Amino acid sequence: MIKIQNLHKAFGTKRVLQGVDLAIVRGKTTTIFGISGGGKSTIIKHIVGLLVPDRGQIIVDGIRLSHRDPATLYAIRRKVGFLFQSGALFDSMSVEENVAFPLLEHTTHGPTERSKRIHRALELVGLKPSEVLPLYPHELSGGMRKRVGLARTIIFEPEVILYDEPTSGLDPVTSDRISRMILHLQAQLGVTSVLISHDINESFKCSDYIAMLHEGRIVDYGEAEHFKDSSHPVVRQFVTGSVEGPIQLLND
């Protein structure tokens, strides 16, 4: 569904991505896993065209992403929903307006159809529409904000959903609920999912495939169930917990 080929990206003198190669399988969940600051968010920002590669290319469902062609970018954004690491709700808009936003941007649905879809998306993420619709982001808890972000991401029924650390900063119960919701969405909507995580246990729970990003490249890739037994030294460090990874949070 998505091919990332030889992707390079530097910010100033900092070489973040140094030849990332990764194929995302259609209808499955792939987790990109690696330490904080390693470039995971940078990879997915390239997939939706928010960043321009220094070198390499991205192909989504056969369309080669070109920044010089706005029509291509639009076509890809129509296929790909993106849950930002921070949730990224618009503070001055109510939950209803936030969730409606992609519908207004990408579809021509009238108010009745819009309202039906908003209700359905909120219910899918386990929120009661009547309670949350009029609220503003500052009136929501962290977990609710993530879920509203998720409802906004799934509202136009994208073929691909990119989740940037959907559970970071949440308590274990809410994290588990969100992980199960991701599995549920995949089963219900048949979407291709890309998950970003620095929590290896969380990754095992929801993924079909895991890709390990290390020093700007994918150094190991495989089925989630076999990944725990990988002999790659970096993966071993994460599995046994003897690494600076999960506690070295730089943002969020």
The residues that touch ligand ATP, with contacts defined as CB under 6 A, are 11, 14, 16, 34, 36-42, 85, 198, 249-251
Q: Select the binding partner of residue 147 from Mg ion, ligand ATP, none (C-beta < 5 to 8 A, by kind).
A: none
Q: Report the nearest approach of Mg ion to the CB of residue 81 (Å).
A: 17
Q: Which is nearer to ligand ATP, 71 or 247 (CB)?
A: 247
Exposed, middle or buried, 14 (CB in 10 Å: 0-12/13-18/19+)? exposed
Residue 121 or 194: the one with the smaller Cβ distance to ligand ATP is 194
Specify the residue, 71 or 250, whose C-beta has the smaller distance to ligand ATP. 250
Please identify, among the stretches 38-46, 128-136, 199-207, 224-232, the one whose residues bind Mg ion according to the rule CB under 5 A: 38-46
Size of the site for Mg ion (CB under 5 A): 1
Show Cβ contacts of residue 202 under 8 Å, excluding neighbours closer than 6 positions.
Answer: 167, 175, 179
What does 39 interact with, of ligand ATP, Mg ion, none (CB < 5 to 8 A by kind)? ligand ATP
Identify whether the C-beta of residue 36 lies closer than 8 Å to the C-beta of residue 250.
Answer: yes
42 binds Mg ion per the rule CB under 5 A? no
167 touching Mg ion, by CB under 5 A? no
Residue 250 binding: pick among ligand ATP, Mg ion, none (C-beta 5-8 Å cut-off by kind) = ligand ATP
- Report the residue from 29, 30, 31, 41 that binds Mg ion according to the rule CB under 5 A: 41
Chain residues binding Mg ion by CB under 5 A are 41
